[in-house]
Structure 1
Amino acid sequence: MNEPVQSVASDPLFNPLAPDFIRNPYPHYDRLRAIDPIHVTPFGQFVASRHAEVSLVMRDKRFGKDFVERTSRRYGPDIMKEPVFRSMAHWMLQADPPDHTRLRGLVVKAFTARRVEDMRPRIQEIVDQTIDTVIGRGQMDLIEDFAFRLPVTIICEMLGIPEDHREVFYKSSREGGRLLDPVPMTPEEIAKANAATTMAQMYFQQLFELRRKSPGDDLISQLVQAEEDGNKLTNEELTANIILLFGAGHETTVNLIGNGLLALHRNPDQLALLKARPDLMTGAIEEFLRYDSSVQMTGRVALEEIDDLGGKTIPKGETVLCLLGSANHDPAVYPDHPERLDIARPNVRPLSFGGGIHFCLGAQLARIEAEIAIATLLRRLPDLRIDDVENPEWRPTFVLRGLRRLPASW
């Protein structure tokens, strides 16, 4: 009986790209919270796994992003010459005030509660069309044929990507997630990411020209206008943030829908409850976000020395990785079996959308997309079965947690 325990004890506490970790990170998080809640990785990063420290770091102004400095420390001084890192340096997600404030201020209007709420009928229409396309086949991949099409269509419409350009976006690979992982990328991975970034930059530059000549009621038209109204936005910033919004606008929602459907089918009692009581859907979405978050981690840099974070001193300039998925399972906040899916769980406030000034712009849009997608699927395909709930194929990335495919039939 002792053998497995010893091998577990000698494993590194935090090895996020290990297949076992990607398959199910939650037992690893339990160990981290219990044994070493502010853990230091071999790369010298601090890893916060408890809810208290994670929520503090995301909201505390003594922490920031400091992207260029942090990335240069990790990869060497020449790294910012690589197109992918140069582009990421302009992302509002990686920016600190005042740049962050300016960039976010330009796009926030597209994501107001009112605007997002008004999109419900269109979201419903896309979900119904998607199901109409496959319903006669009796089978589909819930990721590619279902979860993927809705958020990609919505973000394309919001950005003003013309309909006849979209096929390439539906078929585009979902390889970008590796950029965000806390394990350094290989030169091959960087080269691949550079190529993808350059392609995206070329495409969006042409689209900006199109929208300058014929503006529409879309986000790119607004941003192109802002760029001309006194240079609030450089061309590089414009391109980088559109790439960010395109990725962020679908990646996480695809994963939320996929992870939520898998969780329901792994817990037939909860699936039956939700079918019987569709009024529980809004709370169920919060529980899916908590139970198996599409985003497992976010990071901050100490802008000054922090003398006591969970008992450790964080020197100025050091990175703290905040494990959102672990914080969402912390028994200090969710005392009633956090490892269980409970769609009627009270007071669920997951940290899955981050916190502080970088709180996810599209949080409400993602919630509504997932709510309508899952509710419509349960209603229209009540006897849908997932082919293999035990061994689904996860994507080999850690920060963006999601399935590569999820075949189902009815």
Structure 2
Amino acid sequence: MTNVFDPSLRANPFDLYRTLRESGPLHPTGFGINLVPRYADCSAVLADPAWGHGYYAGINPFRPGVDPRSLPGSFLLMDPPDHGRMRSLVTKAFTLRAVEALRPRITALVDELLDAAIEAGEVDLVRALAYPVPLITICRLLGVPESDQELFGRWTGAISRGLDPDAVLSEEEKAARQVAVGNFAEYFAELIAWRRTDPQDDLLSRLVTVEDGGDRLSVKEIADIGVLLLIAGHETTMNLIASGVYALHRHPDQRAVLAADPALATVAVEEFLRFDTPVPFPTRVALTDVELGGVSLPRGSGVVLLLGSANRDPAAFDAPERLDVRRFASDGPRQLAFSHGPHFCLGAPMARVESAIFFRRLFERAPDFEVLTDAPEYRSSISMRGLASLPVRFTPKGRS
């Protein structure tokens, strides 16, 4: 069977996903690792605390023997009880209220970037809009000075590429990942020291002071959280925005629906996440002996959850190959792009707010934009699915 990670499938992996779903619940790849293509099974794994990452127990088959502390976003790689402790502290500081407070600034930022794009006429949507909106927003949330935001963007890019399995990375890419991890650690250590003596109205200051029953986060833990939020808050939202625009280009009937009612943007974002999932291959490891899809799996077994497949499973969604921006306006199965259960994405509220504001302002201000390609280039990453570029021509509303 064709390799699901084959670069030639980046533009269209969905035919293979269909074949995998129809041919069985689990697909062995060797080394105790299975592909999981169906919605029900993916959802069950995400919700079950018997599945985790297994790094600290020494049973992770994806990077055997690797010290998780050397990897970016080590908070993501923890299992209970350490994961629960960290998450409890972070959620006390990174609240929905803090995200909502950014809404006026995100709107102003989107308008500013749209002004420049409309004036330019023709731009790469990824570079001009999808890239800066989440990067600037997360840097502002953390309290990173504006002068350092582009530097953070470069480091985030190196780490994001380094999230792919080590087997597919060059020595240069692995080295760049480690350099970026070190740069982030040094930068955040210095910024955290400043915040301890001069707190500001930002997330980093709240992380410095947050406590739970006398428990506080260490400098390394805060730095790890900052790296995690930068990666999750930047890369996934960038890919969501660009892929959503391209999906609308390929489905003009749904573009017309959103143009007629830009307030649907919040609901439409859920459909964009389902239709072209930004993180299509999260992994989990069995922390104990388990059963999945009718198959008994021993402790230490690994699974690759094909969320891009699960989110198009006809057992969960009606007409899943059809884009429907109103799909999530009513009750029904939810899309799995942000996971759920113990490892539900902390950055999901921010990604939703940013993307909804972007699509609403896009259709309020420049609904006649034109995508200039039917075959955009996809990024080389396996872990993150997104467009490398998307040429677009803008016409301001009311101008022919």
Superposition TM-score, scaled by structure 1 size:
0.88
Secondary structure at the counterpart of residue 282 of structure 2: strand
Q: Tell me if the contact between 2:27 and 2:35 (Cα under 8 Å) persists in the aligned partners.
A: yes
Q: Which moved more, 1:90-99 or 1:43-52?
A: 90-99
After TM superposition, give the deviation of residue 183 of structure 1 in Å: 6.3
Deviations 1:49-72 (CA, angstroms, capped at 9, x unpaired): 111110111111221221245576
Question: 1:380/1:167 Cα in 2 relative to 1: closer, same or farther (>3 Å)?
Answer: same
Question: 1:201/1:397 Cα in 2 relative to 1: closer, same or farther (>3 Å)?
Answer: same
Once residues 180 and 76 of structure 1 are traced to their aligned partners in structure 2, the CA distance between those partners, rounded to angstroms, is: 15
Once residues 98 and 199 of structure 2 are traced to their aligned partners in structure 1, the CA distance between those partners, rounded to angstroms, is: 19
Amino acid at match of 1:29: Y
Once residues 172 and 65 of structure 1 are traced to their aligned partners in structure 2, the CA distance between those partners, rounded to angstroms, is: 24
Other-structure match for 1:15: 4
Alignment of 1:244-393 (within 5 A): 244-306=228-290, 308-334=291-317, 336-345=318-327, 346=330, 347=332, 349-388=334-373, 390-393=374-377
Tell me whether 1:94 sits opposite 2:82 in the alignment.
Answer: no
Q: Tell me if the contact between 1:87 and 1:240 (Cα under 8 Å) persists in the aligned partners.
A: no
After TM superposition, give the deviation of residue 255 of structure 1 in Å: 0.9
Secondary structure at the counterpart of residue 321 of structure 1: strand
Secondary structure at the counterpart of residue 41 of structure 1: strand
Other-structure match for 1:112: 95
Tell me whether 1:214 sits opposite 2:189 in the alignment.
Answer: no
Secondary structure at the counterpart of residue 332 of structure 1: coil
After TM superposition, give the deviation of residue 42 of structure 1 in Å: 3.2
Q: Tell me if the contact between 1:68 and 1:89 (Cα under 8 Å) persists in the aligned partners.
A: no
Q: Which moved more, 1:112-121 or 1:29-38?
A: 112-121
Once residues 246 and 8 of structure 2 are traced to their aligned partners in structure 1, the CA distance between those partners, rounded to angstroms, is: 18
After TM superposition, give the deviation of residue 139 of structure 1 in Å: 1.3
Superposition TM-score, scaled by structure 2 size:
0.90
Identity of aligned residues (%): 43
Once residues 114 and 52 of structure 1 are traced to their aligned partners in structure 2, the CA distance between those partners, rounded to angstroms, is: 32
Unaligned residue ranges in structure 2 (runs of 5+): 395-400
Question: 1:76/1:46 Cα in 2 relative to 1: closer, same or farther (>3 Å)?
Answer: closer
Once residues 133 and 368 of structure 1 are traced to their aligned partners in structure 2, the CA distance between those partners, rounded to angstroms, is: 22
Unaligned residue ranges in structure 1 (runs of 5+): 1-10
Once residues 71 and 154 of structure 2 are traced to their aligned partners in structure 1, the CA distance between those partners, rounded to angstroms, is: 23
Deviations 1:116-153 (CA, angstroms, capped at 9, x unpaired): 23322111111011112232111111111101111111
Other-structure match for 1:24: 12
After TM superposition, give the deviation of residue 340 of structure 1 in Å: 1.2
Question: 1:237/1:116 Cα in 2 relative to 1: closer, same or farther (>3 Å)?
Answer: closer
Q: Tell me if the contact between 2:265 and 2:357 (Cα under 8 Å) persists in the aligned partners.
A: no
Once residues 58 and 272 of structure 1 are traced to their aligned partners in structure 2, the CA distance between those partners, rounded to angstroms, is: 35
Other-structure match for 2:35: 47
Aligned residues: 390
Secondary structure at the counterpart of residue 403 of structure 1: coil
Once residues 344 and 274 of structure 2 are traced to their aligned partners in structure 1, the CA distance between those partners, rounded to angstroms, is: 16
Q: RMSD over aligned Cα, in angstroms?
A: 2.3
